[in-house]
Amino acid sequence: MGLLAWYRSTGADLPFQSPLPAHSGVAMEGYFWRITAPEAGRVLIALNGVNRGPHGPWATLGLAAHPGGSLRVDAHPTASADPARIGAHAGDAFHGDDRRLRVDLGSDAQLDVTIDDSLPWPHRAFGGSSVFQTVPALNQYWHPWLLGGRVNGIATIGDETWELHDAQVYAEKNWGREGFPDAWWWGQAQGFDERDACVAFAGGQVRSGPIRTEVTGLVVRLPGGRVIRLGNPGISPVRAVVDDERWMLYGRGFGWTIDVAGTAPRAASHVLPVPLPSQERNTAGALEHLAGALEVTVRRRGRVVWAGRSLLAGLEHGGLDRAKAELVRRGLDPSATHAAPIEE
């Protein structure tokens, strides 16, 4: 193994190096697509966590939809991530890249769509983790590689068939050592009045050896195409106040200030799984809302340049203890390795 290959196997990427190809040495590389159809009030999420356990790769798969509270998850015995470009696969159950997304988790949980007119991450020097992407062996890295596009295809959700025409799409990947941080928060929204607008954020407790800190990355794609990324401590810090029903963020830097306010009732959340790669199993890990409310205001040197509101925002509050406590509150088995859907 060459020096560069070894460096990437730690999870890190050099400046101007694409984080899209798989990192061969990390325990988990997660791939996530989110489809928003504002006119129909529909949202779909599809995920594939490519995990590396003692006996080889395996996958955490999921497909969830709003409205209806539908959720299907699976631990699949095979998994692979593309070493040259974006791509995640799990036998016949999952195929996802920058052009097509196909999921088959049973006759009542299927998705087959194409992606066109993509709006990719525009900054060449760094991805969503910014300078943190150069630090080896972090427990978590994040990159929102697709900030828009058009989706066409079909979904089978329960006993319904959804035809998707020019729906909006967002996609990201995250990777690192042994799954997820001890606590994290995340959000993403399209469905604004301006079709090309997109908001995404991800934060949590980041660590590498003795280094421990709390970081939140905040990304806004403004109408017209400019992409702002805040979240470097000291230069463009983002302050986050989060609980199970509120996501309040304030970021500033480079003359920009961004306020984000997300809300969703806890009872309307899914309990999603996260992988424990070394144990080769999934466990309840996050409270996930598919259709929360999110408001964002972007200012440039004090002047409002854009403000938007979406009622189809994804909002997540993660932590193993938190998710298991929610299962207990709902009268479900906290040791279950499957995820819990909601009743809408």
What pLDDT, on the 0 to 100 scale, is given for residue 130? Answer: 94
Q: What is the number of domains present in the chain? A: 1
Tell whether 342 is covered by a domain: no
What pLDDT, on the 0 to 100 scale, is given for residue 342? Answer: 53
Q: Indicate whether 182 pLDDT > 90.
A: no
What pLDDT, on the 0 to 100 scale, is given for residue 212? Answer: 76
What pLDDT, on the 0 to 100 scale, is given for residue 344? Answer: 41
What pLDDT, on the 0 to 100 scale, is given for residue 28? Answer: 96
pLDDT in tens, 288-312: 999 999 999 999 999 999 999 999 9
Tell whether 334 is covered by a domain: no
Segment 225-253 shows an average pLDDT of 96
What pLDDT, on the 0 to 100 scale, is given for residue 324? Answer: 84
Tell whether 340 is covered by a domain: no
Q: What percent of the chain has pLDDT over 70?
A: 96
Tell whether 128 is covered by a domain: yes
Query: Residues 327, 335: contact at Cβ < 8 Å?
Result: no
pLDDT in tens, 17-50: 999 999 999 999 999 999 999 999 999 999 999 9
Tell whether 35 is covered by a domain: yes
Residues 6+ apart with CB under 8 A from 119: 146, 147, 148, 149, 196, 198, 221, 225
Q: Which residues face 215 on adjacent strands?
A: 204
Containing domain of residue 221, as a range? Answer: 3-329
Tell whether 295 is covered by a domain: yes
C-alpha–C-alpha distance, residues 87 and 80, integer Å: 8
Q: Indicate whether 143 pLDDT > 80.
A: yes
pLDDT in tens, 249-271: 999 999 999 999 999 999 999 99
C-alpha–C-alpha distance, residues 74 and 84, integer Å: 26
Question: In this structure, are strands 100-104 and 160-176 parallel, antiparallel, or unpaired?
Answer: unpaired
Tell whether 343 is covered by a domain: no
What value does the mean pLDDT of the chain take?
93
C-alpha–C-alpha distance, residues 290 and 270, integer Å: 8
* Nearest Cα residue to 270 out of 66, 32, 103: 66
Q: What percent of the chain has pLDDT over 90?
A: 80
Tell whether 344 is covered by a domain: no
Q: Indicate whether 337 pLDDT > 70.
A: no
Cα dihedral 115, 46, 39, 293 sign: negative
